[in-house]
Structure formats: structure tokens, C-alpha cells
Structure 1
Amino acid sequence: MNKIITLLSIGFLATLSFNSHGLSIKLNPDQTDSNRIPEPHNIATESSVPLQDTNEYDGGDLYPGTIHFKNNRYILSRCTSGGDDYVLEFIHHNDQKTIDQLINTKAKFWINLFGVYSSIEDEHHLKVKDASDIHIGQSCHLKDALEILSNEED
């Protein structure tokens, strides 16, 4: 599965490609001419999601983290020092099905989600456009790495 996202940032275009080998980034400095820069609503688009599904959710960002199911909701614990939690809503049923399978096997994993953020009643929410780059048997949280190091010293 190959996913492509095109981003515009400070006068240059970059293409991020996700595939079975991970993430690759290609800078396109020759496309800095303002006549060739996409319209603002096209700055971040994903090729695998049909346009009619994303009109309400233009843009998006990558959210790496671990996912658990609590109180009938999917929760992403983001891989940051702050460790913010996000309530997830999946646009595509197949992404939710993949997460269900991982949670049901009780496998340790972390994942990159591409989605659109919103705040609802003082909670972080994420409308998930794509779930990709799954790392089974791993954690992305610093506390887990420190715990492993601590156990190795004992």
C-alpha cells in the first residue's frame, strides 16, 4: 500500500510517501513559483481518500501513537512528551477493523494516523482519514523505553 501526501511549507513543496518500507520525503524546490503553488484548500491532501469523503475535513496531520478501547471509544495516546489523548472516529471501516483486530489480539503496537483535529467539550478528537505504518511489537512512548531500560538494569 502506497500513500502519498503533498504538503506546502514556507515556499516549497514536499511529497511524503508511505509504503511497506516506511516514510520517504521528496522536496520539490523547483516548484516554488507562486503560479504553481496549489490553492490553500489543496495544501494537504491524501490520494487514497476520495475527494467527496474529505471535503468536510480538508487538511490533516500525522498523529503517531498507541490505541486502546475505553468506554466504547477508541483512544489514541499520542507519542509526545505531553502524551495527549484523542478520541478517534474512523472515516473508513477497514481502518477501524484493522485496529479492532490488533486490540483483540492484545498485541503491543503503535501507528501513524492521518486525520483532522477538533476539540469537542474540552476533549481532543481526531477524524481518521488513514491508518498506516503500523509497528507491531513496539511502543513509541518514552515511558515504555525507560521501563525496558530499567528492567535490563535489574
Structure 2
Amino acid sequence: MIRILIFINTLLFISIACAGDIFNGTVSFKNNQWHFIRCSITQDDYLIETSQDVITHLKALQQQEKNYWINVVADVNKQRNGNLILEVEKVIEVHLGASCHLLDAIKNFENRE
């Protein structure tokens, strides 16, 4: 019985500790706010809320590379003034010199011919 309770508590802790989804997209800074443009057909635009550490990382990426996309662990929890808010926990992967947007891939393909 104790083993079952420990197992259940472990599962609950894991689900709480790993809360959030993985989002793929590009980042831009406009109107004094950080925006995350999701790599999807609809290219949803989210305002980013995050820690100062993540903001510092995003600033460094913007200075280092114009063309990149990232994977983040985040949650979409609310909407403010008609804007979706993406609460970014952390950046887990950076893809320099590339874009994950379909329209960018089509443009690159057309430019190769």
C-alpha cells in the first residue's frame, strides 16, 4: 500500500514539475514587446511573458543572428487586450540560420531555381 502511495505521489510530482507544452517558433521585438510567432499554418502571434534570464537570452540571439527559430517550454494561460500571452518557462533548443515557417521554406525553394 505504501509503495502505491509513493508511486502515485511521484506521478503527481512529475506532472506538476513538467507542466507546459513545447512551442516552436520565431521571436521578434516590436512595439517594445517580445513576440513569439508560432511555426504553424496560422502563425499565431503571442506576447511573451518570461523571466529576465530568458529575455537576456532572446536579446543575445537577436544580436547574434537575424534568422533563427527556437523551441520553448511554455503555457498559454490568458489573453490580454486581444493578444495571446505565452508564458515561457525556458528555451530548450535554438536553430540558427534557419526558419521553421512554411512560407519562408517556399521562398527559399523558389530562390534555388
CA RMSD of aligned residues (A): 2.1
Residue 112 to residue 44, structure 1, CA distance change in 2 (3 Å)? farther
Residues 1:78 and 2:47 are matched in the alignment? no
Tell me: CA distance 1:144–1:34, structure 2 relative to 1, closer, same or farther (3 Å). farther
Q: Kindly tell me: are residues 80 and 34 of structure 1, through their superposed partners in 2, closer, same or farther at Cα, counting changes over 3 Å?
A: farther
**Which secondary structure state, in structure 1, belongs to the residue aligned with residue 54 of structure 2?**
helix
Q: 2:102 corresponds to which letter in structure 1?
A: L
Match of 1:109 among 46, 63, 68: 68
Give the whole-Å Cα distance in 1 for the aligned partners of 2:109 and 2:70: 22
TM-score norm. by structure 2 comes to: 0.83
State the distance in 2 between where 1:111 and 1:126 align.
Answer: 14
Residue 7 of structure 2 is matched in structure 1 by: 36
Count of matched residue pairs:
107
TM-score (norm 1): 0.62
Return the alpha-carbon distance in structure 2 between the equivalents of residues 34 and 103 of structure 1: 48
- Given the alignment of the two structures, is residue 122 of structure 1 paired with residue 82 of structure 2, yes or no? yes
Q: Distance in 2 between matches of 1:75 and 1:65?
A: 10
Normalized per residue, the structure richer in helix is 2
- The answer to whether structure 1 residue 98 and structure 2 residue 57 are counterparts is yes
Higher RCO (C-alpha under 8 Å, 6+ residues apart): 2
Q: How far is the alpha carbon of 1:72 from its aligned partner?
A: 0.5
* 1:43 aligned counterpart, secondary structure: helix
Once the two structures are TM-superposed, the CA of residue 116 in structure 1 deviates from its matched residue by: 1.6
1:116 alignment partner, SS class: strand
Distance in 2 (alpha carbons) for counterparts of 1:98 and 1:35: 38
Gaps (5+ residues) in structure 1?
1-32, 47-58
- For residue 107 of structure 1, report the CA deviation from its aligned partner: 2.5
Q: Deviations over 1:17-73 (max 9, x none)?
A: xxxxxxxxxxxxxxxx9983523x752524xxxxxxxxxxxx211111000000000
1:142 maps to amino acid: L
Give 2:80's aligned amino acid: I
Distance change in 2, residues 1:45/1:151 (3 Å) = same
